[in-house]
Amino acid sequence: MSKVYDDPKYNAAFDRCVDVMARLLQKYGPQLLEQMQETAKDGCTQSAVSGKQPVPVYQEFDKAA
């Protein structure tokens, strides 16, 4: 366990947060990366098809979770 905060309770919460973020990246990272690469390859954002304001793919992906 790393020491980021002086209070052990906050350190434990921070470590749990890092663990959750790491698991989310392991689970959804490849899918998200593929979406981002497809968008970059097409040379446009997904919103160009829908006519909405441009929103990065990762923000749209976040809303679905």
Q: What mean pLDDT do residues 5-31 have?
A: 92
What does the pLDDT read at residue 63?
Answer: 54
Indicate the SS3 state at residue 10: helix
Domain limits of the chain?
8-64
DSSP type of residue 54: P
Joined tokens for residue 12:
């434990």
- Range 38-46 contact pairs with CB under 8 angstroms and sequence separation of 24 or more: none
Nearby residues of 56 by Cβ (< 8 Å), 6 or more positions away: 45
Write out pLDDT tens, residues 29-40. 999 889 888 888
Joined tokens for residue 8:
């052990």
Q: What mean pLDDT do residues 3-11 have?
A: 86
- 57-64 and 8-42 are packed helices; what angle lies between their axes, rounded to 10 degrees? 120
What does the pLDDT read at residue 64?
Answer: 52
